[in-house]
Structure 1
Amino acid sequence: MIFYSEFSTLYKIVISIALLLLLAVSAAPFFEETSMASFIVLGITLSVFGFIIWCTFATNYTILNDILIIKSGPIVFRIKIDAIQKIENHNGILIPTMWKLGFSHRGIIITYNTFDDVYISPKNKAQFIAALQKINPNILTANNEKK
């Protein structure tokens, strides 16, 4: 079962401004003098631009048998659903996790193994959590009760 990432308006605004600024800064040297350095800067900028677009549009969360596969561009996580201990809702732009593989400020934090966690933002959070709890009914939710 595949779940796609939710895109909040805030994320769309922030990423659009960042990409436009990145493109403007890298295009500036072409107005002064065209040199090899200008093309190198443009190449690096377009690579970063492409990477951001790739991560944005290729982010999904797949439940396959007993594995949760989280993909965001070239980044792939495989988490055994039996290792998931807790899922909690999170609202806000400051995410208290090492890995943020979601594009909304409204998402969930999945705690697995002992100290590992990841932030994701599936479009239908309730259906996503229910699908995980169907495989592992011991997953605790934000209020520390089994659903």
Structure 2
Amino acid sequence: MYFKSRKEPFLFIFLYAITLVLLGSSVTDIITGNGWSHIGVHIIVFLSSGFVLWILHHTGYLLTDRSFRYHCGPISGEIALERVGEIVVGKTMYVGLKPALARKGLIIKYDKYNDIYISPESNEEFIGEVLKRNDTIKITRISSSR
């Protein structure tokens, strides 16, 4: 089953705005003829913008019978469900592997010391599907005290 990543509206709008401003200024510079002397900068802007748009539109998670696959633009990986020990719900992880576009997602702890942060559109639906495949995974819910 495929799950899209939930998108934090502020982050989505902010990254799109910056990308459009940079692309717009580069294109305007090239069209007016002033930009050819800075073509290296424009190439970097186009490649960076493509990378950001790729991440914004192609971040998601595939849950199969035996594994969990994630992709965030060019970054992807796979974790066998038998390696997952715990899923923490409602907490945001700021350091580490984070193929996600929103806060208050899921921290998947696997092996002894590894974890990954994801933000599916529905945390509860994702957890339900995971537990159908491996009901030994511990679910820890962090309540919001604010």
TM normalised by structure 1 equals 0.82
Aligned CA RMSD, in angstroms, stands at 2.4
Residue deviations 1:45-101, cap 9 Å, x none? Answer: 110100111111111110122010101111111000111111112455xx3331111
**Paired letter, 1:74:** P
Contact kept? 2:100, 2:117, Cα under 8 Å? yes
1:5 is aligned with what amino acid?
S
Partner of 1:112: 110
Structure-2 residue corresponding to 1:12 = 12
Letter of the aligned partner of 2:110 in structure 1? Y
- The answer to whether structure 1 residue 78 and structure 2 residue 82 are counterparts is no
Identity of aligned residues (%): 25
- Distance in 2 separating the partners of 1:85 and 1:22: 43
Distance 2:84 2:91 in 1: 20
Q: CA deviation at 1:22?
A: 3.9
Shift of 1:17: 3.8
Offset at 1:130?
Answer: 1.1
Distance 2:25 2:48 in 1: 13
Corresponding pairs, count? 141
CA shift, 1:25, in A, is: 6.8
Moved beyond 6 Å, runs of 4+: none
Asked if residue 101 in structure 1 is aligned to residue 93 in structure 2, the reply is: no
Alignment partner, residue 122 of structure 2 = 124
Q: Distance in 1 between matches of 2:91 and 2:110?
A: 20
Partner residue, 1:39: 39
Question: How much does 1:20 deviate?
Answer: 4.2
The normalised TM-score by structure 2 is: 0.82
8 Å contact kept, 1:97–1:117: no
- 1:138 match: secondary structure: coil
Counterpart CA distance in 2 for 1:77 and 1:129 is: 19
Give the superposition deviation at 1:27: 6.3
Provide structure 1 residue ranges, at least 5 long, that are not aligned to the other structure.
none
Cα distance between partner residues in 2 of 1:13 and 1:91: 23
